[in-house]
Structure 1
Amino acid sequence: MARFSTSITTVVLMAVILIYMCAVFRPEITILSMTPPAPPMEPLPLSPKYQFVEKRLALKPNFTSTAPVSKPSSRMIELYRIQAKQRRAYLKVVLMSLSRNYMFVYNNLAPEVYCPELVRVGTTNDGGKWICSPFRIPIGCTIFSLGLFNEVTFEMELQYILNNRCKIFAYDSNEQATATLDVLKTIRTKAMKATIGSETDTSRQSYTIEDLMNMESVNNIEIFKIDIEGSEFAVVPAFLKKHKPAQILIEIHGTPAEMVTLLNDISRQGYWLYSHEINGAWHNLCEFSFIHEKAFERYGATPMAKYLDIV
């Protein structure tokens, strides 16, 4: 009986302690919640003075190099090659079953091509992009940036690396802050309010990518950055059937099956994956970086094993 009484006392004491902790340390307990806090939905107005990127741009690093281009070893390529069959099989299952489990997508992703100078350009937080050997981007190239949301550190640092030797055309469905537009003017970037769609409707400021190219007399795009909040499914496959940018930096928003379908469509147009980055807050978002096979030599890339051409 005494032992039973002691057990009750212990349980009651533990409950009191737990209630006290919930009341006093509620913020700390909330942080340990399994559900991550939602990221802010609206960015702060651009303030270059307080940006880490702005501080980097004030430096004068030497981007010249005489080092030989690195190559993956033959044994590394061989291992990637023999694993590709399994990667393709799992991704095909996602397509056939319409699975909503992102594990089968993300766990099976790996670079298809080796980039010797894989670097992140722009903020190290959401908004920066992984790009292959930006130091090799040709002089006088054209860069298309679809989707800004007042986050232009990628454009800023890319032009810093390039010494403003390329022209950027930037588009977003919303008006950008004055501070953002002022910065873009200093880095050879022409910005325009435009919604990207499968058809052009000027009354709604909606345009196809091809019509935007025609408006600016652009024939070729070297770097194609796109983050258009789900509209990529409607516009990217058709666009790539006619145009082949050297590199594509794209954020895909969708279910696992939708993701794999678009990855397959991109792969079928001659593109090889060299980087991916899962969004830490929302797992239905993921950044992908591709290079076209005709641009391998220009950027020093080495093919390893292709598997995203699933069907």
Structure 2
Amino acid sequence: MSSVAIKSFSLSSVTKNVCIFSSIILVITLYYFLNYNTIITSYINYIPSTNIGPKQCNFSSIESDGWFCESDSDWELRKVIDRIQNKRNRISDSRHMFFQNNWEPTIHCTFEQRIGNPGDGGKWICDIHRFTQMNMTNLLIYSFGSNGDFSFEKAVNKILPKAEIHTFDIGYFTCPANVCIFHRARLGNGKNGDSKSLQTVMDELGHKSRSIHILKVDIEGGEYDLFEELFNHLSDNQVTFPYIRQILFEIHLSGSIQSEESTRRTHKLFELFRANNYAIFHKEVNLYDAHSVCEFALIRLNPLFFISHR
């Protein structure tokens, strides 16, 4: 056989193989394209339920104190995810990159919304429309720490115009008309200096028997004393704990970058939240001081959410 014939045969074979391979790739590509949804579904063991009515979400409604309405299967998956993430939430005591390594959200809100300034001062709220959807009346909102910035209060007032909003700060400021009521006060545990605890504030305003629907806290490190006094006061004296639906707060790590004392206190604080039926639904690092300051948002659930198993 001549060399020309051999080359021709070789090229013919290569061309044939290339055509066959290309055809196979084309068929596979078309198959995946035409059956994309079926293929994706086969790799996902869970598909969220839709169009759930109030009568079909009894399980989630009870365990969220009426906040969420989901099918039993959806809610059970929420609980599984919550437990998995919570076990991974205390990883390191190291202050360096503390918020990178610890305390991520364990539950998620479908329509969470950032309220207030787009930068520092704004807070995330879980499904704020639910306050009106659930026909809640007598809405009470506390905003601890404003420094004269009332963007949060104005944004909440626009969405919930009938809500009663009280703003507190150590400075002298005036709330915008028909938006909020301003109080000059230093918030803390009520023991250090002239600070006032949350319980004291509620007593003074005649709110002792009321629920707080949103508690916003931005008091530059005083959040530790405030929350520790609140939770420890409950366990020590067995007093009635104020029902706070959502807590939105900025937390500050103190001490040097090498110190782990502040991180251990931070771990204990989040464990206190968990022990008192709060789950994290949002986390946002404050880039003004990313190593030391972080924003968190928590929602209160029924104790059954944390202890029941199906």
| Normalised TM-score (structure 1) | 0.62
Counterparts of 2:247 and 2:86 in 1: how far apart (Å)? 24
Deviations 1:238-288 (A, max 9, x none): 214332301101111114333222111111111011001111121211111
Pairing 1:112–2:110 present: no
Match of 2:172 among 166, 169, 175: 175
| CA distance in structure 2 between the partners assigned to 1:218 and 1:158 by the alignment | 20
2:117 is aligned to 123
| 2:19 paired residue number | none
In the TM superposition, what whole-angstrom CA distance separates every residue of 1:122-148 from its partner, at most 9, and x where no partner exists? 111111100101112222211111100
Aligned to 2:298: 290
Choose which of 129, 134, 141 in structure 2 pairs with 1:135.
Answer: 129
% identity of equivalent residues: 24
Matches within 5 A, 1:1-311: 77=78, 80=81, 83-84=84-85, 87-88=88-89, 91=90, 93-94=91-92, 98-103=93-98, 105-137=99-131, 138-162=136-160, 164-176=161-173, 181-183=174-176, 185-187=177-179, 189-199=180-190, 206-219=195-208, 220-240=211-231, 241=234, 242-254=241-253, 255-283=262-290, 284-294=292-302
Q: Distance in 1 between matches of 2:252 and 2:190?
A: 20
What residue number does 1:9 align with?
none
Structure 1 residues 114 and 197: alpha-carbon distance in aligned structure 2, compared to 1, 3 A threshold: closer
Q: Distance in 2 between matches of 1:221 and 1:82?
A: 27
Q: Deviations over 1:218-252 (max 9, x none)?
A: 03211111111111111212214332301101111
Give 3-state SS (helix, strand or coil) of 2:265's partner.
helix
Aligned-residue offset at 1:114: 2.4
Say which SS state the counterpart of residue 195 (structure 1) adopts.
Answer: coil
Q: Distance in 1 between matches of 2:301 and 2:75?
A: 19
Q: 1:235 to 1:217 in 2, by over 3 A?
A: same
Partner of 1:5: none
Q: 1:37-56 CA distances to partner (integer Å, 9 max, x unpaired)? A: xxxxxxxxxxxxxxxxxxxx
Q: Where does residue 41 of structure 2 map in the other structure?
A: none
- 1:149 and 1:253 map into 2 onto residues whose CA distance is 17
- Cα separation, 1, equivalents of 2:300 and 2:294: 20
Asked if the contact 2:251–2:295 (Cα under 8 Å) also holds between the matched residues in 1, the reply is: yes
Counterpart of 1:136, as a letter, is: R
The structure, 1 or 2, with the larger RCO (C-alpha pairs under 8 Å, 6+ apart) is: 1
Kindly provide the amino acid, as one letter, of the partner of residue 202 in structure 2.
M
Aligned length: 218
SS, match of residue 211 in structure 1: helix
Say if 1:101 and 1:256, in contact at 8 Å, map to a contact too. no
Q: Structure 1 residues 73, 286: CA separation in 2 closer, same or farther (over 3 Å shift)?
A: same
5+ residue gaps, structure 2: 1-50, 54-68, 235-240, 254-261
* CA contact 1:121–1:131 (8 Å) conserved in 2: yes
Q: Max radius of gyration: which structure?
A: 2
| 1:11-43 CA-partner distances (Å, limit 9, x unpaired) | xxxxxxxxxxxxxxxxxxxxxxxxxxxxxxxxx
The CA deviation at 1:170 is 1.0
Contact 2:212 2:243 in 1 (8 A): yes
Residue segments in structure 1 that go unaligned for 5+ positions in a row = 1-65, 297-302, 307-311
Kindly provide the amino acid, as one letter, of the partner of residue 221 in structure 1: I
Give 1:116 shift: 1.8
Q: Give the RMSD, CA atoms, in angstroms.
A: 3.0
